[in-house]
Amino acid sequence: MQILRTPDARFGNLADYPFEPHYTDVDAGDGSTLRIHHIDEGDRHAPIVLCLHGQPSWSYLYRKMVPLLVSAGLRVIAPDLPGYGKSDKPAAREHYSYQAQVDWMGRWLEANDFGEITIFGQDWGGLIGLRMVVDHPERFDRVVMGNTGLPLNTELDQAIVDKVLAFRADGGRLSLPSMVRVISRLPGAGGDPEAYPLGFAHWQKFCWNTPDMPVGFLMEMMISPPQRWKVMAPMALHHFLGTSLRPTTRLGRAYEAPFPDPTFKMGPRAMPSQVPTLPTDPSVPAQTHAWAFFEQFDKPFLCLFTADDPVTRGLERTFIGRVPGTSGQPHQVFPRGGHMLQERCHQELSKSIFRFIELT
């Protein structure tokens, strides 16, 4: 396995990310070694909150929540998934299967011997984190999920499956505006189970067919809607003249930092296609097993979602009532916050997680 490592100098100017790095070497599965980075803040004897990010972000996403949780008396562990942040980055698409990420993070968990964990997962942090709970239930005391899910769609009509697969494979490239237009109109993963896979396929296709995926620029768009006017001119130049989309703010540059050039972006490009939206996806058996586990899971389980996230809107309903541990918990749907709710709802999230731990 070819593995890339982002130079430390790329992270040298992040004044709002003052956390000491910690590194763990794990078996990549083929005899090679992956180095996984995490931050570890707070009293070493305090209750652990394990914060998992998704695609295309990294643990920088939790920089606002870390001091709030630590000041509440908690210990915060926030790793970078392989392919992201300060963690090593496998260079080939085939290395980024759903199962590989679950296995890598499970080995990381065991190597650090973390236990009595409250896990918070968002986006892929939820998809991977929930499977970690299934594989290592003795290490987890509570689950908190935000803007994520445990996708499993086994009832989709074959005609729709064929249409999605043909769309993904036709080789065409989507412009950023056209992709954004479709994604912004998604019915939500908790909505129409037939319309969602084809809509989400626009994100899957855009990511894979954009070798220099504009990670920092995309994060700016998702996080700072009031400043969206600042990105309209670069988007127009990109659409009509083919210019590169580079981040325009310090925030965007921080999210672009892990990727010195396009060869480092295989994780963000490849992983959307691993989301199991179809009954033909290879992770369906493991997802089926995971749902059987969670239908018996009676440890405390809390959902903290946002109402304005087109990607995961409504997915809290797939957990509440179906997972026994959700019964009687103070679930919340924040009216605003977008998909990356850690950026705009950091105070509400931190307070809710602390109170959840305190009450349970």
3-state SS, one letter per residue, for 318-358:
HHECCEHHHCCCCCEEECCCCCCHHHHCHHHHHHHHHHHHH
Helix orientation angle between 284-294 and 98-112, rounded to the nearest 10 degrees: 50
Q: Is position 309 annotated as part of the catalytic site?
A: yes
Per-residue buried b or exposed e for 113-125, using 16+ beta carbons within 10 Å of the residue's own CB: ebeebbbbbbbbb
Give, as one character, the DSSP assignment of residue 17: -
The SS3 call for residue 231 is: helix
Angle at 149 between CA 192 and CA 328, to 5 degrees: 100
Q: Which of 37, 38, 95, 339 is catalytic?
A: 339
Q: Which of 80, 88, 281, 309 is catalytic?
A: 309
Who contacts 104 (Cβ-Cβ below 8 Å, separation ≥6)?
A: 26, 28, 29, 34, 36, 81, 82
Under 8 Å between Cβ of 293 and 285: no
Let me know: does 293 contact 130? Beta carbons within 8 Å.
no
Q: Out of 95, 123, 202, 346, which one is annotated catalytic?
A: 123
157 noted as active-site residue: no
Active site residues: 123, 309, 339
